[in-house]
Structure 1
Amino acid sequence: MCFNETNGRISKLMSMIKALPINLSNLQKTVLQQIVRGTTNPYRLVRRAKLILAAASGESNSSISRRLELDLVQVRQWRSRWFEEREKLSAAEEQQVTEKALMVLIKGILSDRPRPGTTKSFTVEQVVQIVAIACEECEKSDRPVSHWTASELADEAIKRGIVEKIAPRSVGRFLKRSDITTTSRSLLVKCQN
């Protein structure tokens, strides 16, 4: 059996799976329509809102996939995620949350979930403390170097207990981001001048 035959059979089986029913309250529908009409909403959020509205109107997954130019797996995924969150949405409406609070909840449901392997995020305070170290003279930290490098700064931040661990690459990004002029020189160069 070749790949195309197998793929065709899988597609045929997948198309026979009944789509999960999506039922929207009037308020949910209103909020989703506001997301679709919003001019500042991210494109992916708008497409996902359109997907849920189409699913609620009875449109098939394959039809939604073609119309919104999404992979069929994506359509099933977002339909399934909405279906899983239906109780949370109902509970929020029973508690008579505001339209604004429901909007936040719906945007959360339609947002990407954190993916495994993403880098650890650092607080603003940690970043500021690391940048402050970069502005110090190396000799004050008993470092046998003439200037700070990203590796030296990462080691010093760990030594001082600012962070448990940090990659030199992350330190380099912090320093590059803190450069508010259009020059390509980094903060390390500025502090040493």
Structure 2
Amino acid sequence: MARLAPKVLNLNQSDRSELQQLINRHNAAQQLVLRAKIILLASEGKNHGEIARILDISLDMARLWRNRWCETSDKELSILQRLQDLERIGAPVKFSMEQVIELFALACSPPSDYGLPISHWTPRELADEIMKQGIIESISVRHLGRLY
């Protein structure tokens, strides 16, 4: 079975120049520099395997960035935007910024203001007080410890 050649990547002189400037910048993020090198090598006609060997990266990485570059070619994006990671999917935010601010305000005040006979908040006591006041309906001690 014959293998398919990777997509041809044609760069105009402006894009090529901008990618080269990015590579030459001393303060550029190394991930972006590596991606720019992948694109430049791909535009020179190198296949995924050659790019992977030259840059000492995985074949999948070479393939990913060539394909992503081609997919974004018709969009009005800058070079830097085209080389950025995609937004990552994660769990939705559990607490609003207002709730977190109220949590910090409570944590910064002395426990004696709330009738507690302790000198410092522990995550357990802070979680109990936050739920008692109705700031947050439910929060684990562990999660509160990460926030606090």
TM-score bucket (shorter structure): 0.7 to 0.9
Distance 1:16 1:73 in 2: 16
The structure that is helix-richer by fraction is 1
Give the structure 1 partner of residue 135 of structure 2: 160
2:145 corresponding residue in structure 1: 172
Equivalent residue for 1:41?
28
Deviation at 1:110, TM superposition (A): 1.5
Q: Using the alignment, how far apart are the partners of 1:17 and 1:172 within structure 2?
A: 53
How far does the alpha carbon of each residue in 1:5-42 deviate from its partner, in whole angstroms, 9 at most, with x for none?
A: xxxxxxxx7x9222012121222112211110111112
Deviations 1:92-138 (A, max 9, x none): 6xxxxxxxxx3xxx222212223333684988776554332211123
Question: For residue 136 of structure 1, what is the amino acid of its counterpart?
Answer: S
Change (3 A) 1:61 1:40: same
CA–CA distance in 1 between the matches of 2:27 and 2:95? 27
Pairwise mapping of residues 95-114 of structure 1 onto structure 2 (< 5 A)?
A: 102=78, 106-114=79-87
* Cα distance, 1:67 vs structure 2: 0.4
Change (3 A) 1:168 1:77: farther
Q: Is the 8 A contact 2:102 2:135 kept in 1?
A: no
Any stretches of 5+ residues in structure 1 without a counterpart?
1-12, 93-101, 176-193
Aligned partner of residue 32 in structure 1, secondary structure: helix
Instruction: Tell me how far apart the structure 2 counterparts of residues 39 and 118 of structure 1 sit (CA, whole Å).
Output: 36
Q: Which has the higher contact order (CA 8 A, sep 6+)?
A: 2
Change (3 A) 1:172 1:75: same
CA distance change for structure 1 residues 107 and 159 in 2, over 3 Å: closer, same or farther? farther
Following superposition, the deviation at residue 79 of structure 1 comes to: 0.6
* SS across alignment from 1:86: coil
The CA deviation string for residues 63-99 of structure 1, in whole angstroms up to 9 with x for no partner, is 10000011001111111111100001xx46xxxxxxx
State percent identity of aligned pairs. Answer: 34
User: SS of the residue aligned with 1:16?
Assistant: coil
Which residue among 55, 61, 73 is the counterpart of 1:86? 73
- Give 2:85's aligned amino acid: D
Distance 2:94 2:39 in 1: 31
Structure 2 counterpart of 1:115, from 75, 79, 88: 88
Give the TM-score normalised by structure 2: 0.74
Q: Distance in 2 between matches of 1:121 and 1:19?
A: 43
> Partners in 2 of 1:122 and 1:107 — Cα distance?
32
Whether the aligned pair in 2 keeps the contact of 1:82 and 1:109 (CA below 8 Å) is: yes
Cα separation, 1, equivalents of 2:94 and 2:19: 30
CA RMSD of aligned residues (A): 3.4
- Aligned partners of 2:35 and 2:65 also within 8 Å: yes
